[in-house]
């Protein structure tokens, strides 16, 4: 099992603050990295799929970067809103056989 780590485990920010979290993964034989957003009592929803070193993806106020050589990805949220409160998961894609998920970062945005 190739461990995927995420930090911090949880954080609280004020509405309007920008924030970021980290996903770390083994860099050898890298294929793809997925980011998911998981709201309480719902199922995880895909945010980004990233494959190339240096990739940067953006969806509204949320963006992500990828460094496959050193094995990390950052997720950024600009101007956090209460509706951004969720757990953000990353998953290392082992060439379609299965994903290895990190434990997630739980974000709470306080109004």
- Give the residues lining the site for another protein (CB under 8 A): 1, 9, 31-32, 34, 42-46, 49, 51, 89, 91, 93, 95-104
Q: Report the residue number, 15 or 45, with the smaller CB distance to another protein.
A: 45
Q: Report the residue number, 89 or 107, with the smaller CB distance to another protein.
A: 89
CB of 16 to another protein, least distance (A): 29
Query: Distance between CA 30 and CA 22 in Å, rounded?
Result: 17
Spell out a b/e string for 5-22, using b for 16 or more CB atoms within 10 Å of the CB, else e: ebeeeeeebeeeeebebe
What is the four-CA torsion angle of 72, 99, 87, 107, rounded to 10 degrees?
A: -10
CB of 65 to another protein, least distance (A): 16
Q: Report the residue number, 28 or 97, with the smaller CB distance to another protein.
A: 97
Q: Report the residue number, 2 or 79, with the smaller CB distance to another protein.
A: 2
> Phi and psi of 41, rounded to 5°?
70, 10
- Three-state secondary-structure class, residue 85: coil
CB of 76 to another protein, least distance (A): 20
């Amino acid at each position: 099992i190739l461990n995927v780590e995420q930090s911090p485990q949880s954080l609280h920010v004020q509405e309007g603050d920008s924030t970021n979290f980290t996903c770390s993964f083994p860099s050898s034989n890298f294929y793809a990295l997925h980011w998911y957003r998981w709201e309480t009592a719902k199922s995880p929803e895909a945010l980004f799929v990233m494959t190339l070193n240096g990739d940067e993806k953006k969806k509204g106020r949320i963006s992500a970067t990828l460094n496959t050589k050193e094995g990390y990805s950052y997720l950024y949220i600009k101007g956090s809103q209460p509706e951004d409160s969720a757990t953000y998961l990353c998953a290392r894609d082992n060439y379609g056989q299965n994903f290895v998920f990190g434990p997630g970062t739980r974000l709470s945005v306080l109004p």
